[in-house]
Amino acid sequence: MEEIKLMALFGDITGAEVKDCIVDQDGERLIFVVGLGHLGLAIGRRGVTIKRARTILKRHIDVVEDAESPEGFVRNALAPARVTNVDVQEQSKGRRVAVVTVNTENRGRVIGRNGRNIERARLLAKRHHGIDAIIISDKSDEST
């Protein structure tokens, strides 16, 4: 119930179409999924809108833009890290896995401090596209 109220409030503050809200385990971070093309509205010019939302909600806020495909969604969930490629594969027993290819220098940004970024991407990918796991592959791994 809290998530619905937060979605409505965030939508009112930003003017963006809010599709989902997740309160992370410790309750200090909110993750909002906004409609395709609404990321700019949610952040605002020079980040003014997102800063205002953080002040009002008194929590750190992450915003992820929805996408038309599961691959695009995983790429957006890992932003601002530069992802070279995303390939969603069906594996045994109906398990879906996203293989994310990144340059070695972007690997740390994809994972994030204490695994925070990759965990956000895994949670959202599972919830929105039924993807069970995200595997990070270095671009140099593909040539071997």
* Cβ–Cβ < 8 Å for 41, 16: yes
Structure tokens at 28: 């200090």
Q: Would you write out the chain's pLDDT as a tens digit for each of its 144 residues?
A: 689 999 999 999 999 999 999 998 776 889 999 999 999 999 999 999 999 999 999 999 999 999 999 999 999 999 988 899 999 999 888 899 999 999 888 899 999 888 889 999 999 999 999 999 999 998 765 443
- The per-residue pLDDT for range 83-117, each reduced to its tens digit, is 999 999 998 888 999 999 998 888 999 998 888 89
Q: How far is CA 99 from CA 89, 109, 134, 139, in A?
A: 8, 16, 6, 11
Delineate the domains of the chain, giving CATH numbers in brackets: 2-65 (3.30.300.20), 81-143 (3.30.300.20)
- Peptide bond connecting 80 to the previous residue in cis, omega within 30 degrees of 0: yes
